[in-house]
Amino acid sequence: MLISGSVDPHPRSVATFARSRLTDHLKGAAPVLDDLTEWVTDIIEALGYVGVAALVALESVFPPIPSEVVLPMAGFVAGRGDASFLGMVVAATAGSVAGSWILYGVSGAIGPNRLRAFVVRRGRWFGVKEADLDKAEAWFDKRSGTAVLIGRCVPLIRSLISVPAGFRRMPLPQFTFYTAIGSFIWNAALIGAGALLGERWEAVGDYVSILQWAVIVAIVATVAVVVWKRILKPRLAATGNLPD
């Protein structure tokens, strides 16, 4: 068994097999990504549950570590019988919670007063007024639990949702509870997909990438609308150049 430290019964190590599969899948990709993937697979093989927990915690504050590699790879290991599926999900969830505490703590240390002072001084550069901050804070305070729960299941937003929670100093037990539930759902989905796909576990990353691009498009579209309404449109109207 891999996790217990005994000899792997399979003639080919999990990490070596996974690396070869992913290398074939990522031919032409940047060398740094290949090296990072090799490092991830080595850690999972060497440390098992602890390695998964550590990688997921680090991924929460260091986005270049790809969760779409860590979690499906953990599922692949579990699917081969070298680890428990539930154990991998619990380890990943523990890592997610630990990583979220870091961003939550940093944001909480900055606090709402410093954020408000920044918006008052510099908000006009981004088309954000103090009244907008009031509305955003009121919205989050009313829906903080739901926001954290859903946010932990959305690519790119998963880690960032800890920031507003920290700024608003959401009660830590409540933040931890919803973070754990949302993370458990996300981790179980990706680890389960890796276990089901087996040797094709790397295909999970393709589907996650589609979701990530959908989120990016939504974010860019939202920013574009805000910039138009709050910055460009008022300036064009003031100069009389606003198109009919």
Residues in the chain: 244
Ordered mean pLDDT values, 10 residues apiece, the chain (244 residues)? 44 47 45 64 83 89 74 86 90 94 90 81 72 80 90 83 89 95 93 85 73 77 72 67 64
User: How far apart are the C-alpha atoms of 39 and 65, rounded to whole Å?
Assistant: 10
CA distances for 56 relative to 43, 108, 126, 171, 241, angstroms: 12, 22, 33, 23, 51
pTM of the predicted model as reported, rounded to 2 decimal places? 0.72
> Residue 141: its pLDDT value, please?
85
> Residue 183: its pLDDT value, please?
94
DSSP string, 112-137: HHHHHHHHHHHGGGGT--HHHHHHHH
> Residue 126: its pLDDT value, please?
64
User: How far apart are the C-alpha atoms of 57 and 12, rounded to whole Å?
Assistant: 28
CA distances for 7 relative to 2, 80, 132, 171, angstroms: 7, 14, 59, 45
Residue 215 burial (C-beta neighbours within 10 Å; 0-12, 13-18, 19+): middle
CB 242 within 8 A of CB 236: yes
Buried b (16+ CB within 10 A) or exposed e, 91-101: bbbbbbbbbbb
> Residue 1: its pLDDT value, please?
45
Please choose, from the candidates 233, 223, 101, 243, the residue with its C-alpha nearest in 3D space to the C-alpha of residue 172: 101
Buried b (16+ CB within 10 A) or exposed e, 4-30: eeeeeeeeeebbebbbebbeeeeeeee
Residue 75 burial (C-beta neighbours within 10 Å; 0-12, 13-18, 19+): buried
> Residue 105: its pLDDT value, please?
92
> Residue 53: its pLDDT value, please?
93
